[in-house]
Amino acid sequence: MGQARTDSETTRSDGPATTLGRRQFLGSAVGAAALSAVGTATAQSEPDYGGWFDDVSNYDGTVDRRGQDTVEITVGAEGNNGAFAFAPAAVMVSPGTEVVWTWTGDGGGHNVVSDGDGPLDSGDPVAESGTTYSHTFENEGIFKYVCEPHLSLGMKGAVVVRPGGGGGGDAGQQGPPANPDYGGWFDDVSNYEGETVDRTGQDTVEVTVGAAGNNGAFAFDPPAVRVSPGTEVVWTWNGEGGGHNVVSDGDGPLDSGDPVAESGTTYSYTFEETGIYKYVCEPHLSLGMKGAVVVGGPPGGSGGDGGGGGRTGSQVSGPTWLFTAPVAFAFFTPLLYAAAMRRRRQTTPPAEMVDADGTVRVEEAAATDPETELGHEEFDPTGTAALIAFYFVLIALLWVFMYFVEFLGRVSVIG
């Protein structure tokens, strides 16, 4: 049972979200030596909450905070038509993690109480800013909870306890998959080409407001961009298309205020939490002036190039060659070995045909017996056995290699 306390000096942690890759490698060799390899990359599976978040406006997926000793959840965050949300609504932690709920002081009195017979109970609702309540989760599972006074408004959350994760930097930071599902958001956006521009690894990313698109200067450019957590996104007006603004769709955090037409106007927001943040220009929403910022993503992103950036839709992570090179090596080496041995037998003269001074005697070929079958080389049991043994050694080495890369190194292949 956690204990309520009013110590406002809690530590906020915005740690990594890790997508676990799983790859299956199959190898076999019979007779003529054949090898097949299958590589797949799977994102962290989203827990089945059974409709728990259907009426929670700020839920946009489970934020992975595994590997951290302490994780913070905001009580009274923006959501559900007011300050009636937990943020993040769903969080994944490792066993043994202390989760600390911190009150903002907004939205009136809140509490944290388990749904059903769970372990969470912060007591009576509290409205004071800086109030905290903590609980250390030791067992795996899904722990759902609510704010009792605002349950009917959708003020609900969940803590998922699973092993895994780790690492304390952005290198393992994860979020939406390589090809995010925007749910038809860009169906009427003419300058969206089906890809999310990768700007991960940059401290500041710029989006143009009033770019060419949607039959005029009614577009954001790029319309969809991926950034790392902690990135400041700056929207810059080019003065075209009349008055524009940047406002979140739903209860998101973006609001630049009234529409502005002046060139050089800027509005910025720093994204700390992973997720997909959709936004619009209110005056030109009907024309398709919409955008999205994707925060977090699979490892191996390009990190940006200061302007060009990468495209996540067809991106292949750097470690791909670590997988494909050994597979190609294992497949072609036995064939090359067999060809080399065959050529050696064909080009090396028998010892009895070489004189002491190294001269090779050329003798007239004996008449071929019509009944003698032609075209078959003498069977070499030793060479054949060595070839098969060598091939199976290669397969064993590949299995060891894939174990260290996948399960110890946590390297996954994308694409």
Inside any domain, residue 70 = yes
> Do 122 and 202 lie in a common domain?
no
Q: What is the pLDDT of residue 355?
A: 63
Q: What is the pLDDT of residue 318?
A: 41
- Which residues in 206-239 are b (16+ Cβ under 10 Å) and which e? bbbbbbbbbeebbbbbbbbbbbbbebebebebbe
Inside any domain, residue 205 = yes
- pLDDT (tens digit, 9 = 90+) per residue, 2-22? 444 433 333 333 333 333 333
CA 139 to the chain's CA centroid: 26
| Burial of 59 from C-beta contacts in 10 A (0-12 / 13-18 / 19+) | buried
The last residue of one of the domains, among 299, 314, 329, is 314
> Do 146 and 236 lie in a common domain?
no
Q: What is the pLDDT of residue 328?
A: 62
Inside any domain, residue 58 = yes
Inside any domain, residue 380 = no
Q: What is the pLDDT of residue 200?
A: 87
Tell me the whole-structure pTM to 2 decimals: 0.40
> Do 235 and 104 lie in a common domain?
no
> Do 169 and 218 lie in a common domain?
no
> Do 105 and 249 lie in a common domain?
no
Inside any domain, residue 155 = yes
Number of domains in the chain: 2
- pLDDT (tens digit, 9 = 90+) per residue, 73-124? 999 999 999 999 999 999 999 999 999 999 999 999 999 999 988 999 999 9
> Do 142 and 102 lie in a common domain?
yes
Q: What is the pLDDT of residue 400?
A: 75
Inside any domain, residue 406 = no
CATH number of the domain encompassing residue 254: 2.60.40.420
Q: What is the pLDDT of residue 387?
A: 73
Inside any domain, residue 273 = yes
Q: Residue 130's domain spans which residues? A: 1-20+43-174
Positions of the chain with pLDDT under 50 = 1-44, 166-173, 299, 301-321, 365, 368, 370, 372-376, 407-415
> Do 136 and 224 lie in a common domain?
no
> Do 83 and 220 lie in a common domain?
no
> Do 11 and 100 lie in a common domain?
yes
Inside any domain, residue 204 = yes
Residue type, 76: G
> Do 74 and 169 lie in a common domain?
yes
Cβ atoms < 10 Å from Cβ of 111? 24
Task: Measure the CA–CA gap between 376 and 114, rounded to whole angstroms.
Answer: 78
